[in-house]
């Protein structure tokens, strides 16, 4: 029996992901966080959109859905408002969550609805063949930027923080325990939590940009090019722009949406009587 058969649909293995893909790690972190928190797993919902990352929800043994491209957060908003007792976790990608679904991302953060969004960022559209994503670094060659990208990428943590999220963190798949810890914090947090995990994609980001399909080399590149938020002042700004800044960016409290619904309903009940 598989060690994680209580949280992974082992009967569906082998999975569809490329060798060395980070998605297995990301789902492992999420499932591990839920298990370690000891939440009743019947009351946990995993939702995803479309893209490499989104295939993963079909492998975890929870109530779950692969929804429409970019729309997982909108579906999650319906689920959470309809039954606030459920723990709702969205696993999305950079193209899914920040490209086509960027509008839902910022509005859910603004509303501060109690969702935990884990955005796995491989910085390309991978399931469709390695096209430019809103997170692809400037100047990079992809299958739709044969002359190099002319666009600056999003800093997603800054975007979501500005929109009002109450917990925001970024890690890479070279920081597994930090990532699991942040997901746990995000799930426990009453409000909109956002954890960005930058992961290796040997097939596209590796092949096109790092010029290697070796996942170990890709992971090493992530370690070498990451810098803790606290250490950013130690290096020149020019050098910093090429680094992946990791750490916790926001951890604050403000009124959560489903809780505000509950309070309003109580108030109206008294008025109606």
Partner 1 sequence: MGKVLFMSGNDACVEGAIAAGCRFFAGYPITPANEITERMSRRMFEVNGVFIQMEDEIASICAVIGASWAGLKAMTATSGPGFSLMQEGIGYAIATETPCVIVNVQRIGPSTGSIFSQQGDVMQARWGSHGGCYENIVLSPYSIQEMFSLTIESFNLSEEFRVPVILLSEAAIGHLRERLVIPEKINIVNRRRPTVSIKDFKPFKALENEAPPMAFFGDGYRVYYTGHLHTVEGFPVLSLEKYPLAEEVLKRISSKIRLNIHRITMLDARYINDAKIIIVSYGSSARAALRAVNEARKNGIKAGYLRLITLWPFNYQKIRELCSYADVVIVAEVNNGQILYEVQRALPSKNVIPLLKLADTHTPMEVLAKIREVV
Backbone angles phi, psi at 121, to 5 degrees: -110, 110
Shortest distance in whole angstroms from residue 46 CB to partner 1: 9
Q: How far apart are CA 142 and CA 101, in angstroms?
A: 21
CB burial of 211-232 (b: ≥16 within 10 Å; e: otherwise) equals: eebebebbbebbeeebbeeeee
* For partner 1, the closer CB: 15 or 229: 15
Is residue 245 at the binding interface for partner 1, with CB under 8 A as the rule?
Answer: no
**Which residues in 5-34 contact partner 1 (CB under 8 A)?**
12, 16
Q: How far apart are CA 240 and CA 228, in angstroms?
A: 11
Is residue 184 at the binding interface for partner 1, with CB under 8 A as the rule?
Answer: no
* For partner 1, the closer CB: 79 or 188: 79
Shortest distance in whole angstroms from residue 100 CB to partner 1: 10
**Among residues 39, 65, 188, 240, which is the contact residue for partner 1, using CB under 8 A?**
65
* For partner 1, the closer CB: 109 or 227: 109
Q: What is the DSSP letter of 261?
A: H
Cβ atoms of residues 197 and 173 within 8 Å: yes
Cβ atoms of residues 149 and 136 within 8 Å: yes
**Which residues in 79-118 contact partner 1 (CB under 8 A)?**
79-83, 85-86, 103-104, 107
* For partner 1, the closer CB: 138 or 267: 267
Count the residues of the shown chain that bind partner 1, applying the rule CB under 8 A. 38
> Is residue 109 helix, strand or coil?
helix
How far is the CA of 62 from the CAs of 48, 214, 239, 242, 245, in angstroms? 12, 32, 43, 38, 32
Q: Which residues contact partner 1 (rule: CB under 8 A)?
A: 12, 16, 42-43, 45, 47, 55, 57-58, 61-68, 71, 74-83, 85-86, 103-104, 107, 261, 264-265, 268, 272
């Amino acid at each position: 029996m598989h060690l994680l058969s209580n949280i992974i649909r082992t009967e569906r293995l082998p999975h569809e992901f490329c060798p060395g893909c980070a998605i297995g790690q990301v789902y492992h972190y999420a499932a591990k966080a839920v298990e370690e928190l000891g939440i009743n797993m019947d009351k946990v919902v995993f939702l995803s959109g479309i893209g490499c990352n989104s295939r993963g929800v079909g492998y975890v043994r929870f109530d779950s859905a692969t929804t429409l491209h970019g729309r997982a957060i909108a579906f999650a908003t319906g689920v959470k408002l309809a039954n606030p007792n459920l723990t709702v976790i969205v696993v999305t990608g950079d193209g899914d969550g920040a490209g086509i679904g960027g509008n839902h991302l910022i509005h859910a953060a603004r509303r501060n609805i109690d969702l935990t969004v884990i955005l796995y960022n491989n910085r390309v559209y991978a399931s469709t063949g390695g096209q430019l994503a809103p997170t692809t670094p400037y100047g990079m060659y992809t299958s739709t930027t044969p002359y190099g990208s002319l666009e600056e990428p999003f800093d997603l943590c800054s975007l979501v923080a500005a929109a009002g999220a109450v917990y925001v963190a970024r890690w890479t798949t070279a920081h597994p325990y930090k990532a699991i810890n942040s997901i746990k914090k995000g799930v426990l947090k009453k409000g909109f939590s956002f954890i960005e995990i930058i992961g290796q994609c040997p097939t596209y980001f590796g092949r096109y940009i790092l010029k290697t399909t070796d996942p170990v080399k890709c992971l090493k590149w992530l370690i070498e090019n990451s810098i803790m938020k606290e250490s950013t002042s130690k290096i020149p700004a020019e050098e910093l722009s090429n680094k992946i800044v990791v750490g916790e960016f926001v951890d604050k409290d403000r009124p959560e949406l489903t809780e505000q619904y509950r309070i309003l309903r109580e108030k109206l009940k008294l008025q109606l009587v």
